[in-house]
Amino acid sequence: AAVTPRTRLIATSHVLWTTGRRLDVARLRAESGVPVLVDGAQSAGAIDVTGVAAHVDFYTVSAQKWLCAPEPTGALYVRDPERLRVAQPSYLSQQGYEPSGAFAPREGAARFDSGWIGAPTLAGLVAALGTHPEWRYARAAEAAARCRELLAPLVEVVTPPGHSTLVSFRPPGDPSELVASLHERGVVVRELPGRNLVRASCGWWTSEGDLDRLVAGVAASG
């Protein structure tokens, strides 16, 4: 879709969850001149996003994915905090649940509370952030590149090289059957419905043995 004078915000993914392609969101922001909100579900924790986040307006983090934090934890980076100012909140805390369905707001400023804070999950997030080694991005990229290299003779790899830690490929047979077969071998991959694709996710924790089991399972299915 084209950006028009009516466009107020562009919302897009940094890394596409289907093909693993990485979008140049910093360039999108610079050339469009429109505020950009980036979904970092498949990028934050998998690749270094520090430089990119500094050039967009909003960047969301799904911490339960590549950061290995508890569900449902996450974060929102806002380059200009003043952009969070709204004329009217979209969420109001109510005083109680009425059988009739009537809404009774809480007294005073408490009516603007966003609910309870899950301290245990936030503690888990903090702990997870402290467990990632400095070499995590290099190792994850290395694992993804090796995965591509091993799969290339067997299937059609659709993820562009060097884009992300996702490796999506098109198997010669039925994707769902391959996913089930690999699961029996202790390999967890995901079928991408409607696309005839299977997706492998490579993190800094992915070992050579993991990749060998994946490739052996794919080869056996063909």
pLDDT at 69: 95
Q: What is the pLDDT of residues 143-189, one digit of tens each?
A: 999 999 999 999 999 999 999 999 999 999 999 999 999 999 999 99
Sign of torsion, CA 81 52 39 144? negative
The three-class DSSP label of residue 33 is coil
In this prediction, residue 81 has a pLDDT band, given cuts at 50, 70 and 90, of confident
Output Rg (C-alpha) for the chain, integer angstroms: 21
Which fold would CATH assign to domain 10-82?
A: Aspartate Aminotransferase; domain 2 (3.40.640)
CATH of domain 136-221: 3.90.1150.10
Asked if 62 contacts 41 with a C-beta cutoff of 8 angstroms, the reply is yes
Cα–Cα distance for residue pair 138/133, rounded to 1 Å? 10
Bond before 72 cis per omega within 30 degrees? yes
CA dihedral (23, 24, 26, 32) in degrees, to 10, reads -90
List the domain boundaries for the chain: 10-82, 136-221
Q: What is the pLDDT of residue 136?
A: 96
Three-class SS state of 208: helix
Token pair, residue 73, equals 């934890």
CA dihedral 218, 219, 220, 221 (to 10 degrees): 50
CB atoms within 10 A of CB 82: 6
DSSP 119-139: HHHHHHHHHHHTS--TTHHHH
Reported as a pLDDT band with limits 50, 70 and 90, residue 31 is: very high
The two domains 10-82 and 136-221 share their CATH topology (first three levels equal): no
